[in-house]
Chain A
Amino acid sequence: MLSASHAFADAPPPREMPDLIKEKIDFATDIKPILENNCTKCHANGKSKGGFSIDHLHSFEAGGDSGPAVAKGKAAASLLVKLLLSNDPDEFMPPKGDRLPVKDIALLSSWIEQGLQWEKGFTFSKFRNAPVAPRKVDLPQGPEKNPIDRHLAPYYKKHKLDPEVTVSDGVFARRSFLDTIGLLPSSGEIKDYIEDKSSEKSKRLISDLLGDNENYAEHWITFWNDCFRNSYTRQYHGGGGKKITDWLKKSLIENKPYDQFVRELINPINGSDGFIKGVVWRGTVNASQVAEMQAAQNVAQVFLGLNIKCASCHDSFINDWTLKQTYALASIFSDGPMDIHRCNKPTGEKASPAFLYPEIGDIDNKASRPERVKQLSEIITSPKNGRLARTAVNRLWAIFFGRGLVEPVDEMDNPTWNQDLLDWLAVDFVDNGYDLKHTMKLILTSKAYQRPSVALDEEAENYIFEGPVVRRMSAEQFLDSLDQIILAANTDAKDRDTGRKRAGLRNLDRLMRTLGRPKRDVVVTRRESTATTAQLIELSNGKPLADLMMRGGEVWVKSGQDSGLIVGSLFSSALGRQPSDLEKKSAQNIIGDPVNAKGVEDLLWMLAMHPEFQLIH
């Protein structure tokens, strides 16, 4: 961080200010290489540690959190020079690696002194464009059976991580259940799993779970509903928001190949047309929000991990997409030629339909709309389009590990922390018929997925994969799990029917809304997962949850079990483990002996609020 504060009294004194150079300093040959080699990692190309970016002259001059970086014409008074000379490890720049040689400091100082000459229009910022074509990667040699583990072996070695650490069976079972079918394992299921001595048991569990088609679909429909803005209730005046629920659920139950799934969303069949129809309000809309434009934006975002929202108004400032390219994509969905608008004003130009990556395929701009849309659906899902598969496998990775191979998941031009793995997974996905469950199974049966969860280090400079990030249950997982716990009073069967429609299929209500289920008027590919005060108020005194707890209290008392048994069952079904002696004592105290409904109700609430319950470890 560019900071002049926190100097310790006993810090070594700074180096001497070097003599200034009289000759004219040339930015391109003298300055650029120094900045490029020493500063750009943290202060360029979109990165601005301490609020300081050297991407442009203006941002360079503006400085960061600690004020202006340079005083034009006054090298000695410039914060930058001070930090370069400093020997105080709390403030010197660059913070890592070798100290900047004095001759370089002399060059920079002289450059400041001479008035900060900058190459006209030059910027350190470069938009990165990831390759679109698929890239075949050979599976590395190694003893690991799972290809993901084999890819990660050198990575672990490099980062000095033990490849063999795994979580306990109980934690693994809970994690797998929630990640595949969105439900908790019953205490019986956990027990069976722990007692199973087979070396293949985790594979078998994952197969069983992914094979529970109904529950799989009822869990995953939530993720896809968020992506496709499929709201069960929304009807804006104007006719926006057509439901695709039945088509979607059916597609998930039969594990429709992803390429076909995407084709049907872009070039709709009966029941799948809601996605490209978009949200329509009565009245006029901004040119960047007409239905065709929404279709283009959402297709690009969800299927290709591309942000063309900026480029719907003007040439983008955050990537290389232009207004014309966005209109070309939108025009595919348009009956007639679209008038290009820049910031809602017509430019006089007409758009000609085309795909974003012409190298993958052409749209016949003379063809009818249905024909063009059909062509688009085929081009996007053609094996030449590696981007579709990369985006999809990255989404799966991000869901299971809490963080993608590429982040953010909708910015697939960003670099990945493991290019070979990403490319290999994408090609493997296509080679296996775009089978989502195939890739899920690969991930879920890897040792990587069995690693202990890690806290996300928000401050870390570089992400290092160590295992799944601790995640919080979604609104739907939370509510379904509570239903299960209440149901568990009556039966310990493996039947996963909670006796109530799964939360992901219910209409949005206040409780779910508070817990983060979106309204689905905009595409959401990742929800907020951090707890908020508003949520905890609702969970502490809101009627829907209070009623549920009350019901739970009654049901458990009615089960006629003694307090020890009830405490054991509740811990085991809610947290996936038996209570410790201390916990058992406290919990039995809470529910009383003989057990009373209010006590059980309160204990249920405490377990529902328990971090071990709400978090997926």
Chain B
Amino acid sequence: MNTNIDRRDFISTASTATLGALAAGYPSTSAAAKAKEESLNSTADTVIVLWMAGGMASTDTFDPKRYVPYEKGLDPKRVLSTFPSIDTAVDGLKFTEGLEKVGAVMDRGTLIKTYQAADLGFILHSRHQFHWHTAYEPPLTVAAPHIGSWVSRTLGPLNPDLPAFIDIGQTFDSGEKESLKAFHTAGFLGSEFAPFFLVEPDQAVEAVKPPEGMSDVRFAKRYQEYKKLLADSPVQQHGSEYQRESLLKSMDNANRLLSSPKARKAFDLSQESKESYDTYKVGGRFGLGCLLARRLTEAGARFIEVTHGYYPFKYWDTHDNGHTRMKELKAMIDAPIAQLVLDLEERKLLDRTLIVVASEFSRDMMMEGKPEKRVKDQVQVPPRIDGPQHYGMHRHFTGAGSVLLFGGGAKKGFVYGETADERPCTTVKDPVSTQQLHASIYHALGIPHDHHYNVEQRPFYVTPDGVTEPVTDLFG
């Protein structure tokens, strides 16, 4: 793969089958030409995915149904929402209590009520997350790229000094770490397009600084001396060649990022006012991740994902005490999401930045899977709720989940899809699949839904077979 391409080029093309391309993907020229054409109609330059890893119950967040307050001995079948509903900035649109701030900015956004997760025969968070992030079901014969890698490969960074795809918050140390790693990758597109990982947002700046214990002065000197040492090499017996050039060029890019005051500033949350920092800080790693995402958007990142991280049975993976935990979770996301929307709007960036709030599936108190594709129950639900630990959405529901879109051309104050008011509160109109969601995000970015790269002589599309069209209704 030719890394000497100008990454600011809209589509990086390699028209001949280079040796690298034999292993990695290269674009077919017709696809590149088409993509270039469609980019003129893009409505977004940047995507921020706010990832509610673990399964966010829609009836306890953005799609409230009948509220039944807690009481001992309650029949769980009666409970659809464990929170009362509240008004939002949009007439007739209700959220659940605890999401007042996001509700107040819904006049800038779209709610999709009817996201339907894939039927994988069994609920496995990491496998559903794999599907959400790649649009492909594992296992596969070709390593599928993360959506951020597709975007990075196709569009490159907005600012060439920044990594195009930045992943904030996920670590790989839980029991499902190997499965998580399987989709946090650029796959066949090649590691140039892999995510740049940041874990703790308030330490993000460390990732773009010299190593611990090395001053900027020494770091700069080391690079200068390195260049001099190369210049001192005996007359290059090997001359200029591709491997050498790409190494030096990559080194140069890395050094530019690590010594760029502008880049460092973008990664440095200590540059924020206390007020701003504190607004986001209520959300912990996730909240500060939203703040970092805002700063990186300002600096010209292309694709950013923010999450608290997926850890089995933690955060949104609510197998017990659902109501209590949901209260905390909502407090964690409400202010940061709303503030991110407002901050980007104030900076005139919201129009070209698509924020996507999503999760691998929803949750319900009773149903595992979806009505037409039920799967094995993984959570015991007693016939009577005899303690707060049983009061909440603990089973994994794939029939309807909420996705929020803000900015980037998404309609304002708009609701897409309808869900039933009684259990199973599933999709009754306009389902949206993961593939459709991907196609829609690509659509906003001006990437055609059948965009593809060739690998092993066959096209590999942004969604399987490149047949899924975007939901154009979502965009104004």
Residues of chain A at the chain B interface (Cβ within 8 Å): 46, 48-51, 62, 64-65, 231, 233-238, 240, 278-286, 288-289, 294, 297, 307, 309-310, 312, 317-318, 403, 407-408, 410-411, 453-456, 458-459, 470-472, 513-514, 516, 518-519, 521-523, 526-537, 539-543, 546, 550, 580, 582-583, 586-587, 589-590, 598, 602, 605-606, 609-612, 614-615, 617
Contacts and interface: CB of A to CB of B under 8 A. Distances in A.
A310 B190 CA distance: 21
Interface string B355-370: 0000000000000000
B127 A536 contact: no
A595 B281 CA distance: 47
B239 interface: yes
B385 interface: no
A470 B23 contact: no
Contacts of A598: 218
B456 A307 contact: yes
Nearest to A527: B23
Interface string B234-256: 10001111111011111101110
A458 B253 contact: no
Given A289-B139, A602-B225, A282 B232 contact: no
B18 interface: yes
A611 B239 CA distance: 12
A48 B32 CA distance: 15
A519 B194 CA distance: 13
B49 interface: no
B185 A65 contact: no
A456 B19 contact: yes
A530 B229 contact: no
Nearest to A279: B139
Given A50-B15, A459-B16, 18 more contacts: A62-B30, A237-B124, A455-B241, A458-B18, A514-B194, A519-B182, A522-B143, A528-B20, A533-B163, A535-B250, A537-B163, A537-B207, A541-B210, A546-B211, A546-B213, A580-B232, A586-B228, A611-B248
A550 B190 CA distance: 31
26 contacts: A234-B178, A237-B124, A237-B127, A284-B121, A309-B141, A410-B456, A411-B457, A455-B241, A470-B238, A470-B241, A521-B139, A528-B23, A530-B242, A530-B243, A532-B3, A533-B3, A533-B254, A534-B163, A542-B211, A546-B212, A583-B234, A605-B226, A606-B226, A609-B226, A611-B248, A615-B244
Contact of A282 (B122, B211, B229): B122
A346 B107 CA distance: 47
A289 B244 contact: no
A interface, by DSSP: helix, strand, loop or mixed? loop
B143 A521 contact: yes
A519 B181 contact: yes
B233 interface: yes
Interface of B: 1-3, 15-16, 18-20, 22-24, 28-30, 33, 119-124, 126-127, 137-143, 163, 176, 178-179, 181-182, 185, 190-192, 194, 196, 207-214, 218, 221-222, 225-226, 228-230, 232-234, 238-244, 246-251, 253-255, 257-258, 456-458
Contacts of B140: 289, 522
Contacts of B141: 288-289, 294, 297, 309, 312, 522-523
Contact of B242 (A237, A456, A514): A456
A459 to B, nearest CB: 6
Contact of B244 (A64, A317, A470): A470
Contacts of B225: 586, 589-590, 602, 606
B254 A237 contact: no
A537 B258 contact: yes
A388 to B, nearest CB: 21
A234 B177 CA distance: 9
A310 B465 CA distance: 12
Contact of A65 (B33, B163, B192): B33
A530 B181 contact: no
A-B pairs with lowest CB-CB distance, top 6: A284-B121, A455-B241, A51-B29, A283-B122, A536-B254, A546-B211
A583 B230 CA distance: 9
B253 A533 contact: yes
A526 B188 CA distance: 12
A168 to B, nearest CB: 9
B253 A536 contact: yes
Contacts of B119: 284
A156 to B, nearest CB: 21
Contacts of A612: 233
A611 B163 contact: no
Contacts of A318: 456-458
A210 B241 CA distance: 30
Nearest to B143: A522
A283 B127 contact: yes
Contact of A472 (B24, B233, B243, B255): B243
Contacts of B1: 528, 530
Contacts of A278: 139
B139 A240 contact: yes
A534 B249 CA distance: 12
Contacts of A519: 143, 178, 181-182, 185
Given A537-B254, A583-B232, A284 B122 contact: yes
Contacts of A602: 218, 221-222, 225
A532 B190 contact: yes
A327 to B, nearest CB: 15
A434 B458 CA distance: 33
Nearest to B24: A528
A533 to B, nearest CB: 4
A534 B184 CA distance: 14
B250 A536 contact: yes
Contacts of A64: 29
A238 B225 CA distance: 52
Contact of A285 (B139, B181, B191, B251): B139
B122 A543 contact: no
Contacts of A280: 139
Given A458-B19, A459-B16, A530-B246, A580 B234 contact: yes
A615 B243 contact: yes
Contacts of A235: 178
B139 A294 contact: yes
**Interface core residue of B126, B211, B458 (most chain A CB under 10 Å):** B211
A200 B248 CA distance: 38
Nearest to B226: A606
**Interface core residue of A289, A534, A606 (most chain B CB under 10 Å):** A534
A459 B17 CA distance: 9
A610 B2 contact: no
Nearest to A459: B16
B233 A236 contact: no
Nearest to B128: A283
Contacts of B190: 528, 532
B389 to A, nearest CB: 25
Contacts of B234: 580, 583
B124 A530 contact: no
Given A453-B238, A606-B222, A537 B29 contact: no
B6 to A, nearest CB: 14
Contacts of B218: 598, 602
A610 B229 contact: yes
A233 B178 contact: yes
Contacts of B243: 455-456, 470-472, 529-531, 611, 615
B212 to A, nearest CB: 7
Contact of A606 (B16, B229, B458): B229
B250 A531 contact: yes
Given A529-B243, A534-B191, A582-B232, A541 B181 contact: no
Nearest to A316: B458
A602 B228 CA distance: 13
Contacts of B192: 532-534
Contacts of A522: 140-143
Contacts of A526: 23
A615 B126 CA distance: 38
**Interface core residue of B139, B214, B251 (most chain A CB under 10 Å):** B139
